[in-house]
Chains A and B, each alone.
Chain A
Amino acid sequence: MKPSLRIFNLCLGLAASGAGETVHSVGNIFSPQATPAESVYHLSLLVVTVCAAIFFTVAGLLTFTIVRFRRKADDGREPAQVYGSNRIEIAWTVIPILIVLVLTMATARVVIAIQNKQAPKDALQVTVIGHQWWWEIRYPDLGLVTANELHVPVSTVGEPAVTFLKLQSADVAHSFWVPQLSGKTDLIPNRTNSMWIDPRQEGTFLGNCAEYCGMQHANMLLRVIVQSPADFHKWAVAQKLDASDDSHIAPARATFLSLSCVNCHTVSGTAAAGTFGPDLSHVMGRETLGSGVIPNTPENLRAWVKDPQVIKPGNLMPNMQLNTRELDAVAAYLSSLK
C-alpha cells in the first residue's frame, strides 16, 4: 500500500486490511484485492493526482485574487476595465484539451484491458442471477446451485485462478458490486453481462446490490468467499452431494415436504423443486440468511421461518403461519442441511 493511501485510511479511522483477517467488511476501493479493482485503482491514482493538481492551481489563484484584490478603501474610482486577452484565453483552452487527451487515452487502455479480457480455458464459469432481493449463483460446469455467497478459489502467482461471471436478472435491474474485487456491473433482465475477478487474498469480501431494485434494495447484500484451491474443491464436492437424508430427521423432513415451502425452494434429492427462492440443499453451509441480513444461527433460522417479514420487511417470502410443531420440524430439518 502506498504511504499516501495509508495516511488516507488512517484519516478515515480504518486499519489497513492485514493478513489473518478473514472478513474484509470495509469495501475500500483504494484497497484492491483483485486485478480489475487494482487496474481501476491505478487509473484512479492518475486521475485523482491530475485533478488535485488542477484544484490546487485554480483554488490557489482564486484565493490569491480574493486576498490581493479585495477593495480596501472606497476612493470612488473604478479599476482598469479589461475586456479579455486572446493569448491567455487560448492558453486556458489548449491546456485543458491536452489534459483531456491524456486522461482519455489512459482511461481507454483500462476500459479495454478490463472489459475485453478473454476468459482463459481453465477459468471458473459462474452465472449470477439477480432476484428481488437475493442472488442466485450457479456453477454450470460443476453442476452446483447456491445463493448469496459466491465461493471462488484464490488466485496466486503460481496458480492463477480467474472467475468469469455471467450476470443476468430474473426481474428488475440489479448491480453486482464487491468494491475490493471489481467495479460494478449491472444485472439487467433480457440481457447477459459479464465481468471477472481473480481475488488474491483468502477471506470473505462484502458487497451490495448497487442499483436500486425496490423495497429491500438495502438488504440485497453479497459475500464473496475466497478459498484456497483445496478448500474450494472440498466445498464444491460437498455442495454436489444430494441434501442430507439423515433418518433421525425423517419425520421433520416429511413435515417440510408436506408444506408449501417446496413451491419456491429446492432441496436436491427430494420432491422440493421450486425455483422462486434460494436453493436450500446446503443452506447450513452459508454464513448468513436473507441475503446477508442476519447471521445463519439456529435461532435466527427459526425466527426467519416463523416470520421473515419482521426481519426483512417486504421480502417476497410470506409469513407461512406455521404452528409450533411445524415450525420446530422445518427448523430442525433445515438445520440438518449441512
Chain B
Amino acid sequence: MPSKLHEWIVTVDHKRLGIMYIATSLFFFAVAGILAALMRAQLAFPNGKLLPPQVFNRLFTVHGTTMVFLVGMPFFAGLANYLVPLMIGARDMAFPRLNAFGYWMFLFGGLLLYFSYVAAEGLAGHGTAPDVGWFAYAPLTERAFSRGTSTDYWILSIILSGIGSTASAINVIATVISMRCKGMTLARMPLFVWLMLVVSAMVVVALPPLTAAQIMLLLDRYLGAHFFDTQAGGSALLWQHFFWLFGHPEVYILMLPGFACASEIIPVFSRKPIFGRAAMIGATVSIGILAVGVWAHHMFAVGLSSSSNIFFVTSTMLVGVPTGIKIFNWLGTMYGGKLRFDTPMLFCVAFLFQFLIAGLTGVMMAAAPFDWQLTDSYFVVAHFHYVLLGGLLFTLFGAIYYWFPKATGRMLSETLGKWHFWLLVIGFHMTFDTLHFAGILGMPRRIYTYAAGRGWENLNLLASIGVIFQAAGVACLIWNIIRSLRKGALAGNDPWDAWTLEWATPSPPPEYNFAIEPEVRSSRPLWDLKHPEDPDWKYE
C-alpha cells in the first residue's frame, strides 16, 4: 500500500495527474457545496439566527473562491491532462514534470485557503477565514478594513493555485502544438482539443492581471504602497478593472471546457458528426478574443461615463452571437440523428436548455440600465449559478459518466446516474429559478439576514429546500463512483461506439497510451475504421 501511494505522489503520468486533479476538485466541490448548504440554511427563513454575520461572510467568500479556483479550473486541468494526449495520439504531455508541479501547486494553494480557518487572524479574531468576497473589492481588503492575515491567505492561496493553472495551460498549448500524431492536422483535431487550446491561451492571457493586482495589494498591505488604498489617494476602481480583466475571461475559461465536453458527447449520442465544425472552432476563438473586451460590464454601476458603458454594452451583447452559434450547432448536430439518452447525453440536453436561459439572462444584464437594477442582487446570483451549475457542472457530470469507463475500465450505473440527474435537475430549478425573482424583488446578494415583509420569504424557503434535492443528487454520484469502481460492468475499449482516438486504447489505457503511434486521416479516425465503405476523409 505505501508503495502504491508513493507511485501516485511521484507520478508524472498525465492520466494519473488528470485523475488526481479531477478527484481533488470533486473533493473541493463537496466542501464548497456544504458551505453553500449552510448559507441556504441561514437564509431559509427571515431573521435567521443560525450563523453570525462574520461566519456567513466567510462562507460566501470561501465558497466562491473554492468553486472558481479549486473546482472549475482544476477540473478543466484534469480533463485536459487526461484527454488531450489520448485524443491527439500522444504518449504524454509535452512537459510531464511541469504537469506534476502544476497539480501540487494547485493542491497546496487550495489547502492554504482552508488552513486560514485555523491560522488566520482577522477582525473577528483568531481563525478568521477570508471574508472580503471572492472578488475582494478594494479598499475593503486594505489593512484599515481587513486587519490581520485572513486577506493574505486569500491572496497567497490564489497566487499559488494560479501558478499551477498557468503551468498546466502552457503544457496544454505545447502539447497540442508539438505532440500530435501523424495526420492529426490542426483542422482534424477533435473539437475538445481545440477548445482546450483556446482555454489554455486564455488562462495565459487572463491570469497575469489578477496576479499583478494581488501582488500590488500585498505591497499595499505590507510595504506601504497605495495602489488601492483610497485613504492615501489610491484608486478603488483600479482593483475592479484589474480583477474583471481577469474575471470575465475567467467566466469563459470555466465555461469553454463545458462546451468542449458537450461537443464530444452530443455527436456520439446523436450518431452524427458535429454540425458546422469550422464554425464551432471560429466561434470558440472569437469568444476567446471578445472575452477580454467585456470586463467593465461587471462595473456598470460604478459610475463610468455613458460612452464607456455603451462600449461595454455592445461588446457584451456581441459575445452572445458566437455563443448562440454554438447552441445552434449542437442543435443542428442532434437534428436528424438517432438520439440515445444515456446519462452523459441527459446531462448535455439539460445543459442546452439551462445554458440557453443563462445566456439570455446574460443578455438582459448586458443592457446596462437593466443591469443597474439586476447587478449585485439575487438575480445575478441566479444568473451565474445557471452558467456555472446549470451550464458547466451539468456538462462536467456528463463528462464523468462518459469518460469514467475509459479511465477505470468500468461503467457507472445508469440507474444511479438517472437518479443523480433527475434529483439534480429538480433541486437546481427549485433553487435557482426562484432566486431570479428574489433579485427582481430587490434582494441584494451577500446579506446574512433579512427582515420579514419584503416579499422574499417564500422564494428563499423554496430555494433552500431545493438544496436538499441537489445534495441527494450529488450523493447518488458519489455512491455510484464508489460502487462502480468495485463492481461496475466492464467497459471494454469503446463502450459508447465513439470516434475519437482515446477509444482506440484499452480501458484504462496503459501508461504509454498507444502501443503503435496512430495515424489519422480525418477528425473521426474511429469512424473511418468502423465504416471503411464511407470514411470521413472522403469529404475533407
Known: A47-B364, A104-B317, A215-B53. A62 touches B353 (CB 8 A): yes
A216 near B303 (CB under 8 angstroms)?
A: no
B177 within 8 A of A: no
Q: How far is the CA of A14 from the CA of B338 in the complex (A)?
A: 46
Using CB atoms, name the residue of chain A closest to B454: A25
Using CB atoms, name the residue of chain A closest to B313: A107
Residues of B within 8 A of A189 (CB): 139, 230-231, 236
* Stretch from A89-97, A238-246, A251-259 contacting the other chain: A89-97
B303 near A29 (CB under 8 angstroms)?
A: no
Q: How far is the CA of A191 from the CA of B240 in the complex (A)?
A: 14
B140 within 8 A of A: yes
Q: Which residues 64-81 of A sit at the B interface, judged by CB distance below 8 A?
A: 65-66, 69-71, 78-81
Our pick among B277, B325, B448 for the contact of A93 (Cβ within 8 Å) is B325
Using CB atoms, name the residue of chain B closest to A43: B369
Residues of A within 8 A of B356 (CB): 55, 58-59, 62
B416 within 8 A of A: no
A201 within 8 A of B: no
Using CB atoms, name the residue of chain B closest to A106: B367
Our pick among B57, B233, B236, B310 for the contact of A111 (Cβ within 8 Å) is B310
B2 within 8 A of A: no
Q: How far is the CA of A175 from the CA of B302 in the complex (A)?
A: 9
Residues of A within 8 A of B54 (CB): 215, 313-314
Residues of A within 8 A of B441 (CB): 12, 14, 26-29, 179
From residue B390, how far is it (CB to closest CB) to chain A in Å? 14
Q: Which residues 61-79 of B sit at the A interface, judged by CB distance below 8 A?
A: none
Residues of B within 8 A of A215 (CB): 53-54, 57, 123-124, 131
Our pick among B324, B449, B455, B536 for the contact of A26 (Cβ within 8 Å) is B455
Q: Which residues 300-351 of B sit at the A interface, judged by CB distance below 8 A?
A: 301-303, 305-306, 309-310, 313-314, 317-318, 320-321, 324-325, 327-329, 331-332, 334-341, 349
Residues of B within 8 A of A322 (CB): none
Residues of B within 8 A of A89 (CB): 276, 279, 325, 328-329
A212 within 8 A of B: yes
A84 near B279 (CB under 8 angstroms)?
A: yes
Known: A54-B360, A186-B301, A212-B446. A70 touches B369 (CB 8 A): no
Known: A69-B339, A110-B369. A218 touches B450 (CB 8 A): yes
Q: How far is the CA of A183 from the CA of B363 in the complex (A)?
A: 17
A39 near B53 (CB under 8 angstroms)?
A: no
Q: Which residues 421-455 of B sit at the A interface, judged by CB distance below 8 A?
A: 437, 440-442, 444-450, 453-455
B53 near A218 (CB under 8 angstroms)?
A: yes
A40 near B370 (CB under 8 angstroms)?
A: yes
Size of the chain B interface, CB-CB below 8 angstroms: 99
A59 near B236 (CB under 8 angstroms)?
A: no
Mark each residue of chain B from 354 to 381: 1 if its CB lies under 8 Å from any CB of chain A, else 0.
Answer: 0011001101101111111111110000
A29 near B140 (CB under 8 angstroms)?
A: no
A13 within 8 A of B: yes
Using CB atoms, name the residue of chain A closest to B231: A189
Using CB atoms, name the residue of chain B closest to A58: B356
Q: Which residues 127-160 of B sit at the A interface, judged by CB distance below 8 A?
A: 131, 133, 137-140, 144-145
Q: How far is the CA of A207 from the CA of B237 in the complex (A)?
A: 24
B517 within 8 A of A: no
B306 near A116 (CB under 8 angstroms)?
A: yes
A182 within 8 A of B: yes
B518 within 8 A of A: no
B519 within 8 A of A: no
Q: How far is the CA of A69 from the CA of B336 in the complex (A)?
A: 6
Mark each residue of chain B from 79 to 111: 1 if its CB lies under 8 Å from any CB of chain A, else 0.
Answer: 000000000000000000000000000000000
Known: A54-B360, A111-B368, A186-B301. A96 touches B442 (CB 8 A): no
B331 near A61 (CB under 8 angstroms)?
A: yes
Residues of A within 8 A of B233 (CB): 190
Mark each residue of chain B from 243 to 259: 1 if its CB lies under 8 Å from any CB of chain A, else 0.
Answer: 00000000000000000
A62 near B331 (CB under 8 angstroms)?
A: yes
A112 within 8 A of B: yes
* Stretch from B21-29, B184-192, B267-275, B463-471 contacting the other chain: B267-275
Interface centre among B335, B366, B371 (most CB of A within 10 A): B335
Residues of A within 8 A of B375 (CB): 184, 210
Q: How far is the CA of A186 from the CA of B539 in the complex (A)?
A: 57
Given contacts A40-B373, A314-B54, 17 further A-B contacts (CB under 8 A): A44-B373, A62-B353, A62-B356, A88-B332, A89-B276, A89-B328, A93-B321, A104-B310, A115-B306, A173-B137, A179-B442, A180-B442, A184-B375, A193-B302, A206-B442, A211-B137, A214-B140
State the 10 A-B residue pairs at the shortest beta-carbon distance, nearest first: A183-B372, A27-B442, A218-B447, A193-B303, A189-B230, A26-B455, A84-B276, A179-B442, A71-B338, A51-B360
